[in-house]
Structure 1
Amino acid sequence: MAGERSLRAGRPDPLGVHWDGRGANIAVFSENATRIELCVFSEDGKREIERLSLPEKTGAVWHGYLPGLTPGSLYGLRAHGPYAPEQGHRFNPHKLLLDPYARALHGAFSTGETTLGYDPTAAEADLSFSTSDSAAEMSKCVVTEAMAPVPDDERPDIAWADSILYEAHPKGLTRLWPAVPEALRGSYEALACAPVLEHLTALGVTAVELMPVQAFVDDRWLVQKGLVNYWGYNSIGFFMAEPRYFGPKGAAGFRETVRRLHGAGIEVILDVVYNHTAEGDQSGPTLSFRGLDNAAYYRLQDDQPRYYVNETGCGNTLNVAHPHVLRLVLDSLRWWVEAMGVDGFRFDLATTLGREAQGFDPAGGFFDALRQDPLLSKVKLIAEPWDLGPGGYRLGEFPPGFAEWNDGFRDGLRKFWRGDAHSAQEMAERLLGSAASFDHSGRRSWSSVNFVACHDGFTLADTTAYSEKHNQANGEDNQDGHQENYSDNCGAEGETQDPEIRLRRAQRRRNLLATVFLAQGTPMLLAGDEIGASQQGNNNAYCQDNEISWIDWSAADNAFLGFTRRLIAFRKAHPCVRQSWFLHGRERSEDGEADVSWLGLDGGAVDWDDPALAGFCLLLRESAEAPAYATDGDVVAVVFNGSDKPVSTRLPGLPGKQIWLRALDTAQPEAPKAVCKNTSQDIPARSLVAFETGLLL
């Protein structure tokens, strides 16, 4: 091409394209390529104006230095090498590739066929070779300036034991929020505008856990059906914010949002996807990793390297056991912490990240690297403890320092309040932090992330309004999504005007959510559940970027919102319901009382062998193992009555001038706190009542 500049040798580190004030260093990993080219584009991204071969290779890193390459310049990569799918290699220089370390994108992706590395009309399918240039259908990478590190004193730094998570979609949270300025709705900037901050702080949550915000691609087969990948679990750019959520300030708006949330005392946790990429299986597009070094970036089948190991259900599995791929993931995580200020990560299908040659290993390379890293070891780490591979369900098996999404908690409490046989016994286990799963290796009870609903499945309201999933809008004949939801429509499927059914549903919602906030562990609230949001019975709304998924704030159940605020305030006021130490009924040295006790609804012993057991009283005190400074005499009793009949229970006596106060009652959600005149207390049917102690004046 005319006017080409020449590249200098440059350096192999840092990886990516980095401007130094005079030009940019380019460093790209590929151990199997024969040549890597830097392609520079016009300002509009439509013309390739330079194509320059990186002149040097150090180890597996190709590198060069281009004087005059400035911030705002658009670029991409091309990789030469063998196209031999049977051997695991899929190099094709006709395909423009994203730099895995790019910080920004220009233009949108197309789902056209030119991004395929093969000829889709050929009889041999992906074994064929495409000579169509994909540049016109590809986003271009943007050279950026380095961002200043986030100061440590900006971060709220909230202890795990005090954390209350709020899972939210970056668009769906605000898209229909009337009080949010219209120009901001659905953007990153909307997440920290005044009405949202006021809502979050009044609610009492301490962290927003955002569904994927790293750049992702809409699956081609979804676009062909007129749908999109709304949830965003289809990542392609690990160092950049997804542009579709940009507000007026663009990428800077995300950083500003984090800063404003921090100012309100709220942490930001990102849901990240490092188990697979948007390139899919052998029939998927060539966008970045596949074209740069397919055999290194992905786990391939040993006997047929043409095909991918698919333990994620998404077509491919990222090879995090490879040192350069592991480095990519760690570099990405550090960038989000240092440059964007995030406070932690929830790892999608985290079992995949811990798979070594012999299978899942909690002492594997990925976990060891995280836990020894001086920066990443200090942020919040949350695992989704399963994948689709052999032995993929690993609840409680992640190393100390990790918290884990506990779907067992969700299912256990749904079954109890639905009235399933034997469910009270499981419920009791869940209320104490699922110690059978987590109480080992020095782990703490906050390791269990407790929830009744999350993005994947029914909302809280739908759990009480639908007995069956209704996913027809997804175009998969209602075959997708969870088959067993442990839900109950309370007498009618879907919306109803029957007052008795509506009252029953509201009662159950209060029971379910109260259980989340009164259990040991880390509570997580799905955004919208506090106002009764529904997805019309869709339990897999991953492709619904519309009113099915967007929270309808105009239809908010303000009474339930008020009750949710009371629940969170109660939890914050009582250290004994949010202890870090597991409770095992040990005797406390200061008063000889057990740190936890169980009483039957009649005040006697609990018959744990009774399959029809429908309730009990849980008595909580500060742990006998807790340091002395943590004990303040806090005592709480919670009575769970899952039966269809009211009961009269007897609370234990209290020493001195202490008295019981009836603080929360799911059957009377607006009732003020009241003094218990005696230890015998009436508990309504299908309800939860929480008692705290006070002093007789």
Structure 2
Amino acid sequence: MILPVKMQAGRPEPLGARFDGEGVNFAVFSEHASRMILCLFDKTGRREIANFDMPERTDHVWHGYIPGLRPGQHYGYRAHGPYRPDEGHRFNPHKLLIDPYARRISGHPAWHDALMGYEVGNPRADLSYDKRDSAPHAPRSIVVAPGFDWAGDVPPGTPLTDTVIYEAHVKGLTFRHPRVPAPGTFRALASDPMLDHYTRLGITAIELLPVHAFLNDRFLVEKGLTNYWGYQSIGFFAPDPRYMETGDIAEFQRMVARLHAAGIEVILDVVYNHTGEGNELGPTLCFRGLDNASYYRLADDRRHYVNDTGTGNTLNTNHPMVLRMVMDSLRYWVEVMHVDGFRFDLAATLGRMPHGFDPRAPFFQAIRQDPVLNRVKLIAEPWDIGPGGYQLGAFPAPFSEWNDKFRDGVRRFWRGDPGRAPDLAGRIMGSAPQFDHSGRPATASVNFVTAHDGFTLADVVSYLSKHNLANGEEGRDGHNANYSDNLGHEGPTEDEMILSARARRRRNMMATLMLSQGVPMILAGDELGHGQQGNNNAYCQDNATSWIDWQAVDDDFLAFTARVIALRKAHPILRQKLFLHSRERALDRIEDLFWRRADGAAMRRADWEDPELRLLAVEMRTASGTPEYATLEYAIFAVFNAGEAVAVSVPEAPGNQRWSLRLDTSRPGLGTAPVTGILDMPAEAVVVLVLEPAS
């Protein structure tokens, strides 16, 4: 192809690089740049073969068109403008910049001081100016061909009431599996062995840790570590190339199609609160060089960054064009990549206005009115480290929220902490104090006992303290309040009594999760017995610490987890949209929740206030639970006992019905059996009875 001498004017819409069959239109936003240069590279991406001044500017969008360009073309931008950090501007045309709308990125930067806009080591620090060309070290944006044959793909559309989320890392889940193709990739994640596992387990959605193109932080690389989790996004439209075999984005789309065909939704963990460029001493790779004052929230001195995220910078989603980029990215992943929802990292940042967190912030308003986005699953991590950063329960519909109070409440109850029974009762019923307001449903609470951030379930019952020395921060990183228990020995042991107690504790916590109102989420690997040697912040451990060992699977716990998920699915009373109440409902005037003492009497205030209370017995009832029960009364009686063995009075069953045992975590292999009168409740166990026809 012979390149033209000049670019044609092109169009300001859509943003990014778009191939139309005859050429490529380029459009990029920068309000404060004085000149924008498009740089083209050869097919290897190594040699710069041409550059063009963007010929047109429409409402701060620079645009141009080059006929004859094809998909696969490598490119980047150089932005001219003032380099005045004390005024918020950091333009440096010596730095090659990623297109914020790039749908494909060549790879990771090769760390070099030339990637910085300032002279590393200069006493003036970021007020200095570096003239070295960063192109030899910087990633390239790549033009992508439109279109993918979805062949009738139909998203499962699982209601939140029926959803069971499986939080997973693309590489960590698959890399050590002996039978998957291309371990560690999107293809592996949706391979037949993995689909068989998801189906056996019973999960309905897989929530992937960040798959947007992200950085390996320089300080980690220099220590021989890796940004494993991926919470340093640098491209909000591009899948990270480390999870692909060929770099073709269709690999991600094929993964989604295969998961959908198996009835499994795909939820992406997305990081729109900050970028991987860090603070004023970070690299100039994209947003900082294109328009620092627009893309980032700056401190009053304009030189420094607002750091509500703890990562060095905060994306300025209150700017209309930055908000537009986020919205365009979200729509792209739904409409082009067919994902089913998003989990928003540090979502309190997205709602922070000058006066503080606001559920009516532009980001929330934009999503709520968007006909594409308001129909997918939206989950907020409801905190950050900024002022007023903890906002559990404050997000607007249709957001659900990660509920860390559920995590802590379940761990503390089963650990035997005094006075925790009333808290667990609230968690089991959907955390109504946080979520039962403003018309929000019980599914607003995403319940979890473990997540990627913290101990795995095996480690919660094996370690009293975190063991993070491998992270290279002298153990300072990671949470200190883990509410964990080693049950008599720190770490691995061969003591059969301790191992038995740990296994029962895990069963109790998994059962509690699946018996609670809300949306349950389990951490991938927990069902298999995966541990991380007590590391509760394995963000940089791209190794056997984090990778699941499929040769060391706890088959008994896997079977148990599948069983309690199936139990949840079989009984709608465990997964209701409306909150249950121990008083009469305003709608149907039917009492549906009864808390009982071991002797069968109703719980009284004094009982709830007893700090030694270790047993919760609850009857959940409905007049027409499932079709098979027709006009029969339908109820579940669940007992959560963190104390000693005790006799528990079973509620009286109607004449033509009986209570049937469905779960006993002290005897996980036990089948169903009728129970009348008195239940011999084991110590430290969960028991579930279901009211069913007597014959």
TMscore range, shorter length:
over 0.9
TM-score by length of 2: 0.97
Aligned to 2:328: 331
- Report the AA paired with residue 79 of structure 1: A
Aligned to 1:321: 318
- Give the superposition deviation at 1:626: 13
After TM superposition, the structure 1 stretch with the greater mean CA deviation from structure 2, 350-359 or 157-166, is 350-359
The secondary structure found in structure 2 opposite 1:236 is strand
Distance 1:630 1:260 in 2: 37
Determine if the alignment matches structure 1 residue 268 to structure 2 residue 266: yes
The secondary structure found in structure 1 opposite 2:506 is helix
- Give the superposition deviation at 1:45: 1.2
After TM superposition, the structure 1 stretch with the greater mean CA deviation from structure 2, 103-112 or 42-51, is 103-112
After TM superposition, the structure 1 stretch with the greater mean CA deviation from structure 2, 352-361 or 484-493, is 352-361
Match among 283, 287, 292 for residue 285 of structure 2: 287
- Report the AA paired with residue 219 of structure 1: D
The secondary structure found in structure 1 opposite 2:184 is coil
- Give the superposition deviation at 1:591: 10
Please tell me whether the aligned partners of residues 108 and 216 of structure 2 are also in contact (alpha carbons under 8 angstroms): no
- Report the AA paired with residue 23 of structure 1: G
- Give the superposition deviation at 1:498: 0.7
- Give the superposition deviation at 1:448: 0.3
Please tell me whether the aligned partners of residues 150 and 257 of structure 2 are also in contact (alpha carbons under 8 angstroms): no
Please tell me whether the aligned partners of residues 422 and 608 of structure 2 are also in contact (alpha carbons under 8 angstroms): yes
Match among 195, 198, 201 for residue 197 of structure 1: 195
Task: Give per-residue Cα distances to partners, 1:328-361, cap 9 Å, x unaligned.
Answer: 0000011111111100000000000111121111
Mapping of 1:445-594 within 5 angstroms? 445-587=442-584, 594=591
Distance 1:47 1:11 in 2: 27
Mapping of 1:105-116 within 5 angstroms? 105-116=105-116
Determine if the alignment matches structure 1 residue 396 to structure 2 residue 379: no
Please tell me whether the aligned partners of residues 594 and 602 of structure 2 are also in contact (alpha carbons under 8 angstroms): no
After TM superposition, the structure 1 stretch with the greater mean CA deviation from structure 2, 632-641 or 362-371, is 632-641
Please tell me whether the aligned partners of residues 449 and 457 of structure 2 are also in contact (alpha carbons under 8 angstroms): yes
Distance 1:355 1:591 in 2: 39
- Give the superposition deviation at 1:256: 0.5
Distance 2:160 2:113 in 1: 47
Mapping of 1:165-204 within 5 angstroms? 165-181=165-181, 184-204=182-202
Task: Give per-residue Cα distances to partners, 1:246-296, cap 9 Å, x unaligned.
Answer: 135742211101000000000000000000000000000000000000000
- Report the AA paired with residue 449 of structure 2: V
Match among 343, 347, 358 for residue 344 of structure 2: 347
Distance 1:190 1:475 in 2: 31
Distance 1:587 1:640 in 2: 24
- Give the superposition deviation at 1:5: 2.3
Task: Give per-residue Cα distances to partners, 1:657-677, cap 9 Å, x unaligned.
Answer: 11001110010001111111x
Match among 396, 414, 425 for residue 417 of structure 1: 414
- Report the AA paired with residue 299 of structure 1: R
Aligned to 2:373: 376
The secondary structure found in structure 2 opposite 1:136 is coil
The secondary structure found in structure 2 opposite 1:428 is helix
The secondary structure found in structure 2 opposite 1:506 is helix
The secondary structure found in structure 2 opposite 1:569 is helix
Mapping of 1:40-59 within 5 angstroms? 40-59=40-59
Flag the 1:3–1:277 CA change in 2: closer, same or farther, 3 A: same
The secondary structure found in structure 2 opposite 1:563 is helix
- Give the superposition deviation at 1:112: 1.2
Please tell me whether the aligned partners of residues 409 and 452 of structure 1 are also in contact (alpha carbons under 8 angstroms): yes
Please tell me whether the aligned partners of residues 595 and 624 of structure 1 are also in contact (alpha carbons under 8 angstroms): no
Distance 2:398 2:197 in 1: 30
Determine if the alignment matches structure 1 residue 665 to structure 2 residue 664: yes
Please tell me whether the aligned partners of residues 268 and 342 of structure 2 are also in contact (alpha carbons under 8 angstroms): yes
Aligned to 1:694: 692
- Give the superposition deviation at 1:414: 0.3
Mapping of 1:611-690 within 5 angstroms? 611-622=611-622, 633-643=633-643, 645-676=644-675, 678-690=676-688
Distance 1:148 1:104 in 2: 15
Gaps spanning 5+ residues in structure 2: where? none
Distance 1:374 1:366 in 2: 14
Distance 2:546 2:302 in 1: 39
Flag the 1:511–1:353 CA change in 2: closer, same or farther, 3 A: same
The sequence identity of aligned pairs, in percent, is 56
The secondary structure found in structure 2 opposite 1:196 is helix
Match among 302, 306, 315 for residue 305 of structure 1: 302
- Give the superposition deviation at 1:587: 3.6
Aligned to 2:78: 78
Determine if the alignment matches structure 1 residue 598 to structure 2 residue 592: no
Determine if the alignment matches structure 1 residue 225 to structure 2 residue 223: yes
Determine if the alignment matches structure 1 residue 442 to structure 2 residue 452: no
Please tell me whether the aligned partners of residues 150 and 339 of structure 1 are also in contact (alpha carbons under 8 angstroms): no
Distance 2:588 2:322 in 1: 55
Distance 1:25 1:227 in 2: 39
The secondary structure found in structure 2 opposite 1:275 is coil
- Report the AA paired with residue 386 of structure 1: W
The secondary structure found in structure 2 opposite 1:513 is helix
Task: Give per-residue Cα distances to partners, 1:26-82, cap 9 Å, x unaligned.
Answer: 111000000011000111111111110111111111111111121111100000000
- Give the superposition deviation at 1:641: 0.9
Distance 1:631 1:597 in 2: 21
Flag the 1:76–1:301 CA change in 2: closer, same or farther, 3 A: same
Distance 1:380 1:52 in 2: 42
Flag the 1:524–1:69 CA change in 2: closer, same or farther, 3 A: same
Distance 2:582 2:107 in 1: 60
- Report the AA paired with residue 56 of structure 2: E
